[in-house]
A = this chain, B = another copy of it.
Amino acid sequence: MESLLNELKNRLYEVADFEHAASVLSWDMATYMPQGGAPRRGRSISTMSRLRHERFTDKAIGHLLDQLEPLVAGLPYDDDNAALVRRTRKEYDKAVKVPSELVGRVSSHISGLYDAWTRARPANDFASLAPMLEKELDLYREVSDCFPGYKHVNDPHIDGEDAGFTVETIRAVFSKLRSELVPIVQAIAEKADPSDDAPIRQLFPISGQEAFGLRVSRDYGYDFQRGRQDLTHHPFATRFAHGDVRITTRYKEQYLGDGLFGTLHESGHAMYEQGIAAALDGTPLGHGTSNGVHESQSRTWENIVGRSLPFWEHYYPALQETFPDALKDVPLERFYLAINAVKPSLIRVDADEVTYNLHVMIRFDLEADLMDGTLSVRDLPEVWQTRYDSDLGVTAPDDRDGVLQDVHWYDGIIGYFQGYTLGNIMSAQFYNAALAAHPYLPDHFRQGKFDTLHTWLKENIYQHGGKYTADELLARITGSSLDTAPWIQYIRTKYGALYGI
């Protein structure tokens, strides 16, 4: 068994080398690449993606799995090698259904689309992207057709991000959540004032934002010997290796929220990846297990910790010192309201915790409709506006803050949006378990100490990488399955106090 496992791992490490190369090429494209580099970069990323797929779907890997499966059958479910064979088999069986040349075509198209988006968004030019978006949807439908028997054409893509979920099952979760959430949003709306967030909409010099964000990120436990932060158009975290997990961010001089909470959000993703056991690096176990679990971690560090009162009892004096002009006369309680102000808004990534999921539901529905052809790309900007008007009561002045706001559709991220809301739901479930084990967590935050929570998360979630599915993690940690109740309870408690409802 030893030598078969080694052969499997060596093959997987080579697959990972291609993934590593493609990831670095993509990171550079999103951070430092001069504009002239786009065409050849697209080609090279496409070649790397195609060959990654070609190597991973090599029959030899299937044959090794065939031989190993009976051998690991006797091992405990938790065993690293048993998990490796189990997860690799799952991904292998999916991957072999998609031809490598299609993977190359998708990747090549996406690089061009991403490059076009970085220019179309500032120019408010959706029209120039529309044909490329059309073609992307065609390509993704072509991928879906490699999985005959799906119920909805977006199901295979959703399954790739949040295994086990479908458009149907997610709609059921979302519908339940919406019915609980909308009354809360309405109750808050009666108490909220549009100027609640005014204190964080002032001038915040970017060098101060950067220094403060990095300080908190370090305090959280993001290891900068194995990571770094750079600027980009739309923030993301990316793993190149156990020893190299990076985040990106962007700043607005007139708005503190984007840069600060963006950094905390991506730090959460990065800490998950950095916390995965080194021994799993370069294998299908060496990544966060699902999109939803990943988002549960970014949202934990961004919101449950980073927008909590105890956290700011510790950090607010330092923030005031960093930005005396903006904050010296703003008391802590006022600032706390500002960073948690509930206010229907245009941009998902800047949305408050309460209305955030309404954005996700819109995007999820629109994407499903785009994919199954119910909605045409031509009509997308108008339908976008209609949905934002009806669900959130806001209207974007242009497509920049409407249909062009997110990189996702223009970066090949399809089947992904549900993860943000699944993540919110799970974040409350996991956090409650951490709190049960360590009831004094908020006191630790109040002292700027995060290692108790970080260690608990590493032990219970991070170190396992892709060993357990999202469902298995939930069961192991909370003894339950996906449950919206803890998150609704968290929102009711926090915002009930804030808005006196």
By a beta-carbon cutoff of 8 Å, the part of chain A in contact with chain B is: 13-14, 16-18, 20-21, 24-25, 28, 32-41, 43-44, 47-48, 51, 223-228, 230, 240-244, 246, 281-282
Contact = CB atoms under 8 A, between A and B. Distances in A.
A32 B240 CA distance: 13
A28 B34 contact: no
A18 B243 CA distance: 23
B21 A228 contact: no
B24 A28 contact: yes
Given A17-B47, A21-B25, A28-B24, A34 B241 contact: no
Nearest to A31: B32
Contact of A37 (B34, B230, B244): B244
Given A14-B47, A37-B244, 19 more contacts: A13-B43, A18-B47, A21-B24, A21-B25, A21-B48, A24-B28, A24-B44, A32-B32, A33-B244, A34-B224, A35-B243, A36-B223, A36-B225, A36-B227, A37-B240, A40-B240, A40-B244, A40-B281, A41-B240
14 contacts: A14-B47, A16-B40, A17-B43, A18-B47, A21-B21, A21-B25, A24-B44, A34-B224, A34-B227, A34-B228, A37-B241, A39-B241, A40-B244, A41-B241
Given A34-B224, A34-B226, A242 B40 contact: yes
A244 B36 contact: yes
A478 to B, nearest CB: 32
B281 A36 contact: no
A455 to B, nearest CB: 20
Contact of A225 (B13, B34, B51, B225): B34
Contacts of A227: 34, 36
Contacts of A34: 224-228, 243-244, 246
A16 B46 CA distance: 13
A25 B40 CA distance: 15
Contacts of A40: 16, 20, 240-244, 281-282
A242 B39 CA distance: 10
Nearest to A227: B34
Contacts of A32: 32, 228, 230
B37 A243 contact: yes
